[in-house]
Each structure stands twice: as structure tokens, then as C-alpha cells.
Amino acid sequence: MYLPGPSIYRICMIYNLLDDLITEEKQLISSSEIGNMLGINAASIRKDISFLGEFDNTGARYDIKKLHNHISKKLKLNIERRACIVGIGRLGSAILHYDLFNKYGYQIVAGFDSNVNKIETLKTSIALYPAYKIPEIIKEAKIELAVLCVPGSAAQISADRLIQGGIKGIVNFTPGIIKNKEVFINNIDMVKEFQVLSAMISTTSPQ
């Protein structure tokens, strides 16, 4: 099954919305209702869901629990995965303690920093290691995901160490561009977020 990147993003948005709706004990939802809630058009919603293969839908609306299970199975979101944080500054430390990962099956099992003093003095329940140990620990602890919070200048070397250890996906919070073709990388750049909003303010109107 091949899914385009933007579809994967949208399907994950749908999945999380369904998760909320299950909590609210809602049972059925139409593609236009989903679309309205997420600000995506209904045709895209239907197309994205069709990418996941046949879905046994009775009636005009989706059964929320069934669709949630369907997405979970097809995208294997029910698999638990281990993750680590590289760069334990303010941002890295905040993400290290982010409390929603566990609920969704992501376990933060290690933090890395090049500053050995910092590692020794920080109080946290998660194991911290010096940065040179990245490849070794990634392999040993079977870590698949990493969040990169180092300065931009250290982004590539940190990513190279992660890749050397066999990491599969990286959330890159640094402004640095990581060159590689071996792993999946999602870039989150705080400045770019502001630039994108500024450009939207300058060029268009909200829907």
C-alpha cells in the first residue's frame, strides 16, 4: 500500500478526531462532518480513506469505532514504538516530559546531550546518555523514533549518529536541513511557523 505524505497527515488528523469522538460517545459521522471539523474538503476525506483499501461501511455515514480501528490497523498505529530525545535544552526537556506520548503507545526511553555535566545534574526518570553513545543505545534499546532539539549547527551530525544506530524516523525541531535518504524526517521549525502565518496574513484571508 502506497500513501502520499499529505494523505498520511490527513488520515492521522482524522484518526485523532475519531479518538476524541469515541470519548464523546458519538457513533456515526459523515465525510462532510469530518471535513468541517478539520477544515478539509469532504472529497479529500473520502479519497484519503479509500487509499486504505476496502472499508465495510453500512449506510451514508462512517461508523466511528470501526473507522478508527480500520485506520489503526492499516497504518499500524497500534504498534508501540520507542523514542528518544536528542538535545536536552529547554525544548528537549519539555518534550522529554510531554505526557501524552504514553497514552498513544510511544515510549520515550532515552535522552542524549553532548554536555556530560548536564546529563549528570538533570533530574529525570528517563535515562540520559552522552551524545556519542547515540548509535549504541538506539540499537540496544530498539529505538525507532527520535526528536531532534539540538542547535541547527549540530543537526546533521546528530542525525547521522541516529541513522548509524538504525533510527527509522526523526522529528527535526532544529532550523537545520538534514540530508539523507534513509529515514523519514518531519521538520518543525518555530520560525517557519511564524513566517507561514505572516505570509498568510499578508496574502490571503482566512476561509
Instruction: Report the alpha-carbon distance of residue 22 to residue 151 in Å, rounded.
Output: 40
User: Which residue number, 27 or 102, has a Cβ lying nearer to its own copies?
Assistant: 102
What grid cell was written down for 104? 498513544
Return the residues of window 64-103 that contact its own copies according to CB under 8 A: 74-77, 79, 81, 83, 89-91, 93-95, 97-98, 100-101, 103
User: Which residue number, 15 or 129, has a Cβ lying nearer to its own copies?
Assistant: 15
**104 touching its own copies, by CB under 8 A:** yes
Return the residues of window 185-204 that contact its own copies according to CB under 8 A: 186, 188-204
What grid cell was written down for 65? 469505532
Instruction: Report the alpha-carbon distance of residue 9 to residue 6 in Å, rounded.
Output: 5
- Bridge partners of residue 106, in order along the sequence: 81
**183 touching its own copies, by CB under 8 A:** yes
User: Which residue number, 135 or 152, has a Cβ lying nearer to its own copies?
Assistant: 152
User: Which residue number, 106 or 129, has a Cβ lying nearer to its own copies?
Assistant: 106
Return the residues of window 122-161 that contact its own copies according to CB under 8 A: 144-145, 147
User: Which residue number, 131 or 145, has a Cβ lying nearer to its own copies?
Assistant: 145
Q: Give the Cα-Cα-Cα angle 38, 173, 112 (nearest 5 degrees).
A: 130
- Bridge partners of residue 145, in order along the sequence: 83, 169
Contact 162, 140 (CB under 8 A): no
Which residues lie closer than 8 Å to 37 by C-beta, 6 or more apart? 17
- The least CB distance from residue 58 to its own copies, in Å, is 26
Return the residues of window 21-40 that contact its own copies according to CB under 8 A: 37-38
